Amino acid sequence: MKVFVLNGVNLGRLGTRQIDVYGVTTYAALVESCVELGAELGLDVECRQTDIEGEMVRWLHEAADERAAVVLNPAAWTHYSIALRDACAMLNGPLVEVHISNVHAREEFRRHSVISAVATGVIAGLGVDGYLLALRHIAARLAAAES
């Protein structure tokens, strides 16, 4: 199954941006980990990152059209982008919302997600391991559906 791992604004700066919050793993290393684990799990993982909201919406439309699963870190758009929320609501496959930091232990404005209500599940605060857990969940969910 095709799985899009989609990352929003500023996530291309992983490894250099606020390492006390987001850690030292680079975006390139995150992509490599996701693709490698995906292959082990029998998933066709494609990772993308953008700082442009409209581009993210187009990618979500593409995922909906392909009936693909999505692992999404909407980053700052989590808290206010109704456009992303509406695009996520069109998805046909599982959607796992991922946040590297524990957004619930941070500033008040970060504690609300407009995406969570349409997500299959949410993983927050486990660092980049959250992405790997999301991929494992998707693989298990697909295996269960096939049996």
Q: Which residues are annotated as a binding site for substrate?
A: 73, 79, 86, 100-101, 110
Q: Does the annotation mark 61 as catalytic?
A: no
Instruction: Give me the catalytic one of 22, 27, 80, 112.
Output: 22
- 140-145 long-range contacts, CB within 8 A, separation 24+: 141/94, 142/1, 142/69
Q: Does the annotation mark 99 as catalytic?
A: yes
β 95-99/69-73 pair status: parallel
How far, in Å, CA of 105 to CA of 97, rounded? 17
Residue 46 in contact with residue 5, Cβ under 8 Å? yes
Please name the residues in contact with 12: beta carbons below 8 A apart, sequence gap of 6 or more: 27, 49, 51
Instruction: Give me the catalytic one of 80, 99, 104, 131.
Output: 99
- At position 73, the amino acid (one-letter code) is N
As annotated, the active-site residues are 22, 99
